[in-house]
């Protein structure tokens, strides 16, 4: 499994359940980016849970969820923003638009054969 940084661009959603009678936010636009360090073999999918924030008045409501396999972004490095189905109680309840980008980074583990000790390249005479 590659190690690196996963960039998740949360763009928008449409057709979401309107969980509040006074709220008309069934098609939100976020345009926000989140960065995640990936360094575990357990990270093979992105799980997105959507909540309707009630702004501090009452409990937030569960709207739905989706899971996105990360195999393609680990292989290709980039998945342009696209829509994923949101599910609730095994039923379709809208879509969320997300873009993914993965920047692989070499592990910073110690390799005694590379001549690099403590961050300094060992010098020598030939």
Segments making up each domain of the chain, as ranges:
4-107
Pick the more confident residue, 21 or 90.
90
The answer to pTM > 0.75 is no
Pick the more confident residue, 104 or 42.
104
Pick the more confident residue, 5 or 116.
5
| CA gap 103, 4 in Å, rounded | 6
Percent of the chain with pLDDT over 70: 70
Percent of the chain with pLDDT over 90: 46
- For residue 106, the SS3 value is coil
Burial class (CB in 10 A: 0-12, 13-18, 19+), 97: middle
Are 94 and 13 in contact, with CB atoms under 8 Å apart?
Answer: yes
Question: 58: part of which helix (H) or strand (E)?
Answer: none
Residues 49-83: tens digit of each pLDDT: 988 876 666 677 888 999 999 999 999 999 999 99
The superfamily CATH assigns to domain 4-107 is C2 domain (2.60.40.150)
Tokens standing for 42?
A: 């357990």
Q: What is the pLDDT of residue 22?
A: 42
Q: What is the pLDDT of residue 61?
A: 83
| CA gap 2, 102 in Å, rounded | 9
């Amino acid at each position: 499994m590659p190690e690196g940084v996963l960039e998740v661009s949360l763009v928008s959603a449409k057709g979401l359940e309107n969980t509040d009678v006074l709220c008309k936010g069934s098609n939100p636009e976020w345009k926000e980016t989140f960065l995640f360090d990936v360094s575990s073999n357990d990270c093979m999918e992105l799980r997105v849970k959507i909540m309707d924030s009630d702004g501090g008045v009452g409990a937030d409501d569960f709207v739905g969820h989706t899971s996105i396999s990360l195999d393609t972004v680990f292989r290709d490095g980039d998945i342009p923003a696209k829509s994923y189905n949101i599910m609730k109680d095994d039923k379709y309840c809208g879509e969320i638009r997300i873009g993914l980008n993965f920047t692989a980074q070499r592990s910073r583990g110690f390799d005694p054969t590379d001549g690099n000790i403590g961050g300094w390249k060992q010098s020598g005479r030939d």
